[in-house]
Structure 1
Amino acid sequence: MTRRKAHPPSTYSMIDVLLASQTEPMPAAKRVLQLTRMWQGLASIERGQAPTIDDWRICSDAVNLMETLICEMKVCQDSSGLLDDATAALASACRRHRDSKTIRLDASGIQAVRAVLEDYAELLEQLPARTVIQAHRLTEQRIREILAGRKRPKDVEVMDL
């Protein structure tokens, strides 16, 4: 008999989706908390003495959330290709980490990830809370699928940090 790996619990439940506002953005305190963590993660990768895997993950989460909002939910567009640039930059930072044990982004990677975070921050202020929570749930579901080996052609897996 083989044991199944338990996946981490979802950040939001279906009840959270149903209770979230269909018209108002997420409460300011939740937006500030989420964005602060993301900006701190990027700052650590840019200038920190020893950026952590968690810093990288929180930036990756922001990029993954934007991908869900753009590709799955189609609530916005990426006409400039910044999403692909940010994804490539974070994958490169992961490879760099494996080689040198330091997580860093190059200059163009910093610009791409920073731009995606700025766009995500703008969306958080405009989108209804329900849409944001649905994006979280869809993103977590997609990550679980990737970890289970059900990848899509555009998926980039760098989970073995």
Structure 2
Amino acid sequence: MTSPRRRARGASTYTHWHELMASPTMPMPEAKRLHQLSRMWQGLRALEQDARPTPDDWRVVSDAVNLLETLVTMGEVQDATGLLHDAVRELAIAGARHLQEGKPIRLDGAGIFTIRSVLEDYAGALAALPERTMVRAHRLTEKRISEILAGKRQPHDVEVMVL
């Protein structure tokens, strides 16, 4: 579940060149990891506690969940908690409730636990996997979202929402 905001404009976060230039052995530089993780955790905190979480809060959390899903599909990590598909569903429900009913983007107690567990798995993958693997996962995730938006859905895909 992710927002195609950046992808809708046709711009990709990373290119093939970025992937080739990324380290094949070392994790992403610490400053980049901290930036990603800070945004991700701030987004989750907002979904848990803010009076009016923003669509951007939902997007950064959804992006991390989608990136972990891609890493699992690539065979780079396992869904250690078994909660990945539940996390995708929880974010879809929160997004749909916001769009259809105008309610704040919220997670229930089970959703908070599920999303937090999956984000912890993503944080572990980001710290352990080579930068090149993470850049490839990012590129593949953006490609998959673009394909879904173009109508090329796979049976396991959840509706992509624009918040």
TM-score band, normalised by shorter chain: over 0.9
Other structure's SS at 1:75 match? coil
Other structure's SS at 1:118 match? helix
d(CA) in 1 for partners of 2:53 and 2:155?
30
Q: Are the counterparts in 2 of residues 63 and 117 from structure 1 also a CA contact under 8 Å?
A: yes
Percent identity reads 58
Is 1:140 the equivalent of 2:142? yes
Say which structure, 1 or 2, has more relative contact order (CA 8 Å, 6+ apart). Answer: 2
- Show structure 1 runs of 4+ deviating over 4 A: none
Task: Report the Cα offset of residue 85 of structure 1.
Answer: 1.0
Matching residue of 1:75: 76
Change (3 A) 1:113 1:6: closer
d(CA) in 2 for partners of 1:30 and 1:20?
12
Matching residue of 1:152: 154
Matching residue of 2:67: 65
Matching residue of 1:119: 121
Task: Report the Cα offset of residue 79 of structure 1.
Answer: 5.0
TM-score, reference length from structure 1: 0.92
Structure 1: runs of 5+ lacking an equivalent: none
Aligned residues: 156
d(CA) in 1 for partners of 2:150 and 2:119?
28
Structure 2: runs of 5+ lacking an equivalent: 1-6
Task: Report the Cα offset of residue 81 of structure 1.
Answer: 2.3
d(CA) in 2 for partners of 1:38 and 1:6?
21
Change (3 A) 1:6 1:116: closer
Deviations 1:42-84 (A, max 9, x none): 100100121011111111101100110001x111111542101
- After superposition, the CA RMSD in angstroms is 1.5
Matching residue of 2:93: 92
- Which residue identity is paired with 1:86? A
d(CA) in 2 for partners of 1:39 and 1:84?
19
Matching residue of 1:12: 14
Change (3 A) 1:121 1:10: same
